[in-house]
């Protein structure tokens, strides 16, 4: 990988600064040596996929495959953001310890509104209990509300996580059903 490609961000992370509570969120994180930022290509080496594997089966994603998917997402973001992936980095350990994706879906309804989906929330096991999940959810809510003007933000999760999301501003809405292929 060329050096100048390593720091490529999946979306323009200066948009994070528009989140209303950004200063509060970042000062809490930085007092713990943590930094919130956009996913970068080099996060493959910083444990991004191991982090996701705490959530579900990731499979065998080679660096090449990761890079291909990364640029597909980035390319689609260049027209309008769809894949707003954030990570929390432990600056001392040099690894990513938390992540989530805000997926943005264009609608015709509600005056051609944007709908946000909170996806792929993961916090490294050894970093649990430090309110990192709460900060991640706060950031995604801020992005959906303050930056991308979504009319709603929704998520699906396992039953045991419903309480966590209820404590973090979500309330029960419509049901989620799925077919597994």
SS3 content of the chain, % helix, strand, coil (to 5): 45, 20, 35
Cβ atoms within 10 A of the Cβ of 85, count? 23
The least distance separating ligand 16G from the CB of residue 118, rounded to whole angstroms, comes to 5
What are phi and psi for residue 47, nearest 5 degrees? 90, 25
What are phi and psi for residue 148, nearest 5 degrees? -105, 0
Which segment (24-32, 33-41, 114-122, 143-151) binds ligand 16G by CB under 6 A?
A: 114-122
Question: Does position 119 bind ligand 16G by CB under 6 A?
Answer: yes
DSSP secondary structure code for residue 103 in this structure: E
Question: Does position 35 bind ligand 16G by CB under 6 A?
Answer: no
Q: Give the SS3 label for residue 25.
A: helix
The correct pick among 16, 96, 121, 153 for binding ligand 16G (CB under 6 A) is 121
Site string for ligand 16G, 57-96 (x = CB under 6 A): ----------------------------------------
The least distance separating ligand 16G from the CB of residue 127, rounded to whole angstroms, comes to 16
d(CA 104, CA 46): 26
Question: CB-wise, 92 or 173, nearer to ligand 16G?
Answer: 173
Binding site for ligand 16G (CB under 6 A): 55-56, 118-121, 155-157
């Amino acid at each position: 990988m060329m050096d100048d490609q390593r720091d490529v961000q999946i979306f323009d992370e200066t948009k994070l600064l528009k989140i209303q509570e950004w200063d509060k969120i970042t000062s809490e994180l930085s007092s713990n040596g943590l930094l919130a930022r956009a996913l970068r290509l080099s996060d493959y080496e910083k444990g991004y996929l191991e982090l996701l594997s705490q959530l579900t089966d990731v499979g065998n994603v080679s660096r090449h495959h990761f890079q291909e998917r990364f640029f597909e997402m980035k390319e689609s973001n260049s027209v309008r953001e769809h894949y707003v992936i954030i990570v929390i980095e432990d600056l001392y350990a040099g690894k990513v310890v938390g992540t989530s994706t805000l997926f943005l879906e264009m609608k015709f309804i509600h005056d051609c509104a944007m709908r946000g989906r909170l996806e792929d929330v993961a916090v490294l096991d050894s970093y649990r209990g430090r309110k990192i999940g709460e900060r991640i959810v706060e950031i995604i809510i801020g992005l959906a509300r303050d930056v991308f003007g979504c009319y709603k933000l929704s998520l699906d999760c396992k039953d045991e996580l419903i309480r966590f999301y209820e404590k973090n501003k979500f309330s029960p809405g419509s049901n989620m059903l799925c077919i597994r292929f």
